[in-house]
Each structure stands twice: as C-alpha cells, then as structure tokens.
Chains A and B, each alone.
Chain A
Amino acid sequence: MTAALDAVAWACLVAGALLSLSAGVALLRFPDLLSRMHAATKPQVLGLLLVLIGCALRLRELVDITTLLLVLVFQMATAPVAAHMVGRAAYRAGQCRNDLLVTDELRRSGSAPVAGLRSSQSDGAGASETGRRG
C-alpha cells in the first residue's frame, strides 16, 4: 500500500518536473511574449497541482496537507490576475507579432488602445486611462 502510494507520488513529481522543463523550452523557443505567457501558465497550474499531490502523498499529515492546499488556492486565485495584467500590458506595448496572428479581432473592433497611439498621448492621459480600468 505504502509502496503504491510512493509510486504514484513519484509519477506526479516527475510529470511536474517535465512540465517545468517544457515551460523552459517554450520560453526560449516561442516567438513573441504572448505565446511565451501560455508556457508560463503550465507549471504554475497543472505542474504545481501534480507536485503538490505528490508531496501530499508522501507527507500524509493533515497539517502539511492543509498548507499545501493553501499554496494551491493562492496560486490558482492569483495566477489568472497576474497573467491578465501582464498580457494586457504586453498587447498595449505592441509586444505581439502580428504576422503570426491568424486573426486579431481586438484590433478590428477598434476598441483597443494601439501602441503607437498611446505613446503620442500625454503622460497624464495615460495615467488616467490606467486608473479608469483598474
């Protein structure tokens, strides 16, 4: 029974480590910032989930499992917010390679602040714009 639990734990840990490696490869290989951000999501959600499961299977103490649960809750609650903030800043800064996009319905809709347009604005207008959205 213990051996089986350990085997499952090790499988989870190895899978988590593999996801971390693939995130590193993707960070280096993907062409633009928005694509790379997808790679960053992976070890932060599924990789972390697998590793925490593996860790919980090895520790088997209620106190430790509650701590691990807390790590998971914090990460799952904060990762999308951080990703959205960085992604929005990246798009507005023009960090997205248009030649690789199949469609860009945000630019077509016309509601997007375009990078070139933003830089011509005064500093005050930019700040108030950020404040309105936040």
Chain B
Amino acid sequence: MTTAVAVVITALLAAGATLALIRVVRGPSVLDRIVATDVLLAIVVVAIATEAAFTRDATALPVLVVLSILGFVGSVSVARFSGRSR
C-alpha cells in the first residue's frame, strides 16, 4: 500500500516537473522562465517533504526552509533586473 502511493506520487511529481522544465526551455521570455523555475522549485519542495513523510526521517527539513526563501530572492531579483534593462 505504502509503496503504491509512493509510486503514484513520484509519477505525478515527475510529470509535473517535466512539463515545467519544458516551459523553462521554451521560454520565450526571461519572465516565463522564472515563473516556470518557481514552479519547478515548488515541486522540488513538495518532493523533499514527501520523501521525509515516507521515510519518517526529518534530516532534509532544514533544506525546505532554505528553498522556501531562495525562490523569493530569485524571482524578485530577476523581475527587477528585467524591468530595468528594458
């Protein structure tokens, strides 16, 4: 039962991450890419949290704290930069 749920979640997350990656590659603008990267980061956070939930191992939780701030810094700096260079 546990394994089946893990497989389903992994498949869903992998599909979502692949689609987001396609958008990162296709662009067309920097802002499209940063939005897609944000989604990719959110999916990574979800994946790490899911892994922690299944193994009942909290080692990776501090990584989540860092990632939740990292996405913000990236988005804001890119949005600011792209607004100025135009």
Interface size of A by Cβ–Cβ distance < 8 Å? 59
Which of the four size classes fits the interface of chain B? Answer: 35 or more
What sequence of 0s and 1s flags, for each residue 6-19 of chain A, a beta carbon within 8 Å of any chain B beta carbon?
A: 00011001101110
Q: A20-B12, A23-B20, A58-B56 are in contact. Are A67 and B75 (CB under 8 A)?
A: no
- The answer to whether A85 touches B79 (Cβ under 8 A) is yes
Q: A20-B16, A82-B76, A86-B35 are in contact. Are A54 and B53 (CB under 8 A)?
A: yes
Binding site for B on A (CB under 8 A): 9-10, 13-14, 16-18, 20-25, 27-28, 33, 36-37, 39-40, 43-44, 47-48, 51-52, 54-55, 57-59, 61, 63-64, 67-68, 70-71, 74-75, 78-79, 81-83, 85-86, 88-90, 92-93, 95, 118-119, 126-127, 130, 134
